[in-house]
Structure 1
Amino acid sequence: MKRTLVLIALLVFLTGPARPASAERLVTVAFPLFAPYRTLENGRPAGLVVALLDDVAKRMGFKVKFVEVSFHRAMYMLDNGDVDIMPGLFKRKDREERYLYVETPYRYERTSFFVLRDGPRIDSYDDLRGLTIGTLEEVKYFDRFDNDDTLTKKPVLSDMLNIRKLLEGRIDCFAMAGEVAKQKIVMAGAEKSIVQAAFRPAQKDGVYLVFSRRSPNKDLVEKLNETLSAMEKEGELSRLYQRYFGY
């Protein structure tokens, strides 16, 4: 009997305390503000990505914790495994090596350029030459632009800072996803001063959820892809676009 008790105690010591079968795992999500995808309402996370991940979490049986940080900080945390998921990334070769992509995109986006109403005309890509262009640190836009070292790009940590710099004449234009820019310009009260340039690149990119390669929850990637694919077929993604974009 004594020997049996010793064996049981040893087994408990080696395996640790049993976890309740009903315990939900917690998935942390980096949350740079990027309306209408990621925003705050009464101090709480809101927007398309929040609604999307809340639905995904219910279907898959996990809990989501949103961590509000800058885009630059979010990328650092993703690299180090301090968060599990980062939303809103385009697919690029270097990033596919760094992160695990959920294969089904939840949205497609295209870069636009914004100027002052009486500012320079940008009717073609070549019109960007000679201009000082505001960009966001760590953000990818489109291949030609990202790889063009002949352009003068001035990266900052905040989209709102680019809007302020344009209003103050410190840059000639800035690059940003069109739908996001429109909302941020309104938030800045600059819709009468800032307009979208005529030139838009042909390249349209999928917007993805990515996992840190150091995430303890990276085994969810395949299942999350299946869930997103099912939501797309059910029309749930289209309903989210209608709700947040109006089309």
Structure 2
Amino acid sequence: MKSASRYRKYLVGFLFCLTNISLLSPAYAAEPSPTLAPLRAAVSEHFPHGLERKILQALADRMGRQITFMPYPFARRLDTLEKGGVDLSTGLLKTPERTEKLIFIDAHKRKTYRAFFVLKDRATRIEKYEDLYGLKVGTRIKSLYFDRFDKDDKIQKIPVTSIESHIHMLLNGRIDTFAFQEKSGLLKIAELGYEGQIITAPYKFSRTNLTHICISKKSPLANDLTDINRIIKEMSEDGTFRQITEDHYRNLQN
């Protein structure tokens, strides 16, 4: 009897310790919460499985939250985010107008190039900024590029919803060039089979951008930013965002 009692005592103690170890483990903390609704994230419809999704998925994983991705054209993505139709997004430039409806949390810095795409066999030469004058330049609705270009009313800009529209308009002679983020633009051109026909012009605009996690002020996330601010800071400082970005573009080249 004594041995049976002692066995039960040891068994209860063992199970108690095991339970506490499980509760304290990082793996447990990262499990998606079944009591919280999934986060709703807006991403580019042209790159629904691209860098933006990878960054937001890593953030949700670190938060222990499930996440649902909604691909939208750029203008609709911005509008839906501002109205609270989704909780968060990334890849948006911070402006005074946008901060009225969105919360921007600094994530990481990366250098980007805004390129001007032209037909390879045409005489369109864009070697300096001034060469844009007199050309029909394709842009995305509500998208921002760089200050000088965004504010220059002397450039004839043709706004459309998608890079696919830009590409077809360029091929059909309806525009002379279009502006787009260089790496993403080259990827989409190759994907559509026009790699040998469309190239980047010599003139490009480069800058080091702060990538932000953007949260709608109408999202429940906006009610308590303490946790998400802490997690984004950790992911920035431990190099998570940088590694995701580097891996993404390295894989594109392979």
TM-score range, shorter chain: 0.7 to 0.9
Q: Is 1:23 the counterpart of 2:23 in the alignment? A: no
Given residue 102 of structure 2, which amino acid in structure 1 is its aligned partner? Y
Given residue 205 of structure 2, which amino acid in structure 1 is its aligned partner? P
Tell me by how many angstroms 1:107 deviates.
Answer: 4.3
Q: Is the 8 A contact 2:56 2:89 kept in 1?
A: no
Secondary structure of the structure 1 residue equivalent to 2:189: helix
Aligned residues: 218
Describe how 1:1-247 pairs up with structure 2 within 5 A: 23-35=35-47, 39=48, 46-105=49-108, 107-119=110-122, 120-219=124-223, 221-246=225-250
Partners of 1:122 and 1:222 in 2: how far apart?
Answer: 47
Q: Judge which range, 54-63 or 112-121, deviates more.
A: 54-63
Partners of 1:81 and 1:28 in 2: how far apart?
Answer: 10
Whose Rg is larger?
2
Partners of 1:130 and 1:70 in 2: how far apart?
Answer: 28
Partners of 1:53 and 1:202 in 2: how far apart?
Answer: 25
Tell me by how many angstroms 1:204 deviates.
Answer: 3.5
Tell me by how many angstroms 1:242 deviates.
Answer: 2.9
Q: Is the 8 A contact 2:102 2:215 kept in 1?
A: yes
Change (3 A) 1:107 1:204: closer
Q: Is the 8 A contact 1:80 1:214 kept in 2?
A: yes
- Give unmatched runs, 5+ long, in structure 1: 1-20, 40-45
- Between the aligned residues of both structures, percent identity stands at 31
Richer in helix (by share)? 2
Change (3 A) 1:203 1:53: closer
Secondary structure of the structure 2 residue equivalent to 1:110: strand
Deviations 1:11-46 (A, max 9, x none): xxxxxxxxxx961342111122243xxx3xxxxxx2
Secondary structure of the structure 2 residue equivalent to 1:237: helix
Tell me by how many angstroms 1:246 deviates.
Answer: 1.0
Q: Judge which range, 139-148 or 89-98, deviates more.
A: 89-98
Q: Judge which range, 117-126 or 200-209, deviates more.
A: 200-209
Q: What is the RMSD computed on CA atoms of the aligned residues? A: 2.0
Please give the TM-score of this superposition, normalised by the length of structure 2.
0.79
Change (3 A) 1:75 1:64: same
Please give the TM-score of this superposition, normalised by the length of structure 1.
0.81
Change (3 A) 1:77 1:131: same
Tell me by how many angstroms 1:156 deviates.
Answer: 0.3
Given residue 154 of structure 2, which amino acid in structure 1 is its aligned partner? T
Q: Is the 8 A contact 2:215 2:222 kept in 1?
A: yes
Given residue 103 of structure 2, which amino acid in structure 1 is its aligned partner? L
Q: Judge which range, 24-33 or 162-171, deviates more.
A: 24-33
Tell me by how many angstroms 1:184 deviates.
Answer: 0.7
Tell me by how many angstroms 1:243 deviates.
Answer: 1.9
Q: Judge which range, 74-83 or 162-171, deviates more.
A: 74-83
Partners of 2:115 and 2:229 in 1: how far apart?
Answer: 29
Partners of 1:123 and 1:220 in 2: how far apart?
Answer: 48
Q: Is the 8 A contact 1:110 1:205 kept in 2?
A: no
Change (3 A) 1:214 1:106: farther
